[in-house]
């Protein structure tokens, strides 16, 4: 069973990920990892010593090619799942971005960017990412 929780804040040292709900021109921005056929919200792991907002900026650029955008933190989220980090609760920062410009070339493991007005039929993380969007919406960010 996957459990997703939301917090207004958490100790910075707990934050291992940044996930960015992105839109451009009023449409959702999702990415597809080159080894999968599912879509996901941009995001990824924090590097050692990296400020968490720098993680969000880096991941947004690496996974979408976004070069001009507004980015704001929404909340902290956690995921507890038996097949993830030995079942331990792991924490990340949830952000929202409004992207104004993209670089033409992708530089990471992402195979495709999808800009759409609807949610994916096939999510990479179907028990987690729709919940993140719901929470950002509930908090008035989207």
Residues 32/39, Cβ–Cβ less than 8 Å: yes
Please give the Cα distance from 75 to 9 (Å, whole number): 7
pLDDT tens profile 100-137: 999 977 777 788 999 999 999 999 999 999 999 999 99
Confidence band of 11 (pLDDT split at 50, 70, 90):
very high
| pLDDT for res 46 | 98
| pLDDT for res 40 | 96
Whole-model pTM: value is 0.94
- Domains held by the chain: number: 1
| pLDDT for res 22 | 98
Question: What's the domain range around 11?
Answer: 3-138
Q: Which two tokens stand for residue 112?
A: 């495709």
Q: What is the CATH number of the domain that holds 58?
A: 3.90.79.10
| pLDDT for res 19 | 98
Q: Which two tokens stand for residue 67?
A: 């070069």
Confidence band of 23 (pLDDT split at 50, 70, 90):
very high
Between the alpha carbon of residue 24 and those of residues 9, 56, 109, 113, the distances in Å are 27, 17, 21, 12
């Amino acid at each position: 069973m996957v459990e997703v929780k939301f917090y207004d804040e958490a100790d910075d040292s707990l934050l291992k990920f940044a996930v960015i709900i992105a839109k451009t021109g009023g449409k959702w921005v999702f990415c597809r990892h080159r080894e999968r056929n599912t879509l996901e919200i941009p995001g990824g792991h924090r590097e050692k010593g990296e400020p968490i907002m720098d993680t969000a900026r880096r991941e947004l650029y690496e996974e979408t090619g976004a070069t001009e955008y507004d980015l704001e933190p929404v909340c902290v989220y956690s995921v507890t799942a038996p097949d993830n980090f030995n079942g331990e609760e792991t924490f990340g920062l949830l952000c929202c971005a409004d992207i104004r410009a993209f670089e033409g070339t992708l530089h990471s493991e992402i195979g495709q960017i999808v800009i759409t007005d609807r949610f994916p039929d096939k999510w990479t993380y179907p028990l987690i990412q729709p919940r993140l969007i719901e929470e950002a919406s509930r908090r008035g960010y989207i």
